[in-house]
Amino acid sequence: MKIGLFGYGKMGRMIEQLAVERNHQIVAKVDVDTQQIDFQSIDCAIDFSTPDAAFDNIKSCIDHGVPVVSGTTGWLDQYDEAVAHCKQKNGALIYASNFSLGVNLFFELNEKLAKMMAPLENYRVSMEEVHHVHKLDAPSGTAITLAEGIIENSDYNNWTLGKAKETEIAIKVKRENEVPGTHVVTYKSEVDSIDIKHTAHNRKGFALGALIAAEWLVGKTGVFTMRDVLNL
Ligand SMILES: NC(=O)C1=CN([C@@H]2O[C@H](COP(=O)(O)OP(=O)(O)OC[C@H]3O[C@@H](n4cnc5c(N)ncnc54)[C@H](OP(=O)(O)O)[C@@H]3O)[C@@H](O)[C@H]2O)C=CC1
Ligand SMILES: O=C(O)C1=N[C@H](C(=O)O)C[C@H](O)C1
């Protein structure tokens, strides 16, 4: 597959390394200064850029008939517009706040646990995410997906970075050194706590998941999620 990388930072470079191992070709490396892009040469675009750049990158890929996998976080206020644009143009799009297989299993576990905990009024849920100091957005996209998974399966109706009201999920954000990404969901009562935790040891899992999504997406039209790709 001929891949166009939109964003050639920490993730773009990791994807390049794994893509070559999987016999793919990187035919474009797009950054903020790129003047011209040969869209015709690209079978699938993989966007790991910045919150400010993601939507425009996705839109121009769709406009040029190029399927796009986006892992950029922090641009979700424009997600519905991206979905509508993709459907209108008969394009192909997968967005995931986290492409790693482990985190996608963690998402499923989080929803199942939320369902089990919902009737137990003695427990309150909260969340912590830890990332490297270079991260631009907070909370992480993954923490937002986890919070949405709890909200869909319980009486909680919002998340907050501040002091949580009765029906809000408190998310604590930590930025430390070069941490690739750690997420903990905690249910606490007076007598005990239940924690579920995912720890990324490096960025390979994210990159591999994005490549698997790109391999799956080529030849399809529509808007998909990692649930579709992994058949969860
Ligand atoms: N979904 C997932 O599984 C994962 C998602 N992420 C997310 O992916 C994104 C990128 O992460 P990461 O690689 O660590 O970040 P980096 O900052 O290392 O890389 C982002 C790159 O995008 C470049 N860029 C800026 N503007 C544009 C533009 N208009 N078009 C294309 N590229 C542009 C930046 O260039 P410059 O530095 O010159 O501005 C930089 O090289 C983040 O939003 C992060 O949260 C990260 C890991 C996993
Ligand atoms: O910025 C990162 O590094 C990461 N971002 C994603 C997020 O915001 O959830 C995924 C992963 O945690 C790493």
Residues 111 and 180 in one domain: yes
What is the model's pLDDT at position 34?
94
Closest ligand by atom to 10 CA: 1
How close is the Cα of 74 to the center of ligand 2, in Å?
10
Q: How many domains does the chain have?
A: 2
Residues 126 and 174 in one domain: yes
The burial class, CB within 10 Å (0-12 / 13-18 / 19+), for 31 is middle
Q: CA separation (Å) from 47 to 2, 28, 58, 68, 124?
A: 14, 12, 8, 7, 36
3-state secondary structure 44-86: EEEECCCCCCHHHHHHHHHHCCCCEEECCCCCHHHHHHHHHHH
The phi-psi region of residue 101 (left if phi > 0; otherwise alpha if psi is between -120 and 50; otherwise beta) is alpha
Q: Is the peptide bond before 139 cis (omega within 30 degrees of 0)?
A: yes
Closest of 112, 93, 194 to residue 150, by C-alpha: 112
Residues 111 and 195 in one domain: yes
Q: What is the pTM (predicted TM-score) of this model?
A: 0.98
Q: What is the pLDDT along the chain (232 residues), one digit of tens a residue?
A: 999 999 999 999 999 999 999 999 999 999 999 999 999 999 999 999 999 999 999 999 999 999 999 999 999 999 999 999 999 999 999 999 999 999 999 999 999 999 999 999 999 999 999 999 999 999 999 999 999 999 999 999 999 999 999 999 999 999 999 999 999 999 999 999 999 999 999 999 999 999 999 999 999 999 999 999 999 9
For ligand 2, atom 3, the nearest C-alpha belongs to 180
What is the model's pLDDT at position 170?
98
User: ipTM for the complex?
Assistant: 0.99
Has 131 been annotated as catalytic? Answer: yes
Are 186 and 127 in contact by the 8 Å Cβ rule? The answer is: yes
Closest of 118, 175, 171 to residue 144, by C-alpha: 171
CATH at residue 13: 3.40.50.720
Closest of 66, 94, 73, 87 to residue 229, by C-alpha: 94
70 CB near ligand 2 (under 6 Å): no
Has 135 been annotated as catalytic? Answer: yes
Q: Which domain holds residue 16?
A: 2-99+204-230
Q: 6 has which bridge partners?
A: 30, 47
What is the model's pLDDT at position 179?
98
Residues 68 and 6 in one domain: yes
Residues 113 and 83 in one domain: no
Residues 39 and 109 in one domain: no
Closest of 51, 187, 210, 184 to residue 116, by C-alpha: 187
Residues 209 and 152 in one domain: no
Residues 50 and 73 in one domain: yes
CATH at residue 178: 3.30.360.10
What is the model's pLDDT at position 41?
98
What is the model's pLDDT at position 178?
98
What is the model's pLDDT at position 100?
98
Residue with tokens 């191992």: 21
Helix (H, G, I), strand (E, B) or coil at 125: strand
What is the model's pLDDT at position 55?
98
What is the model's pLDDT at position 139?
98
Q: 46 has which bridge partners?
A: 5, 69
Residues 135 and 214 in one domain: no
Pocket test for ligand 1, best of 10, 11, 36, 94 (most atoms within 8 A of CB): 11
Catalytic one among 10, 87, 89, 135?
A: 135
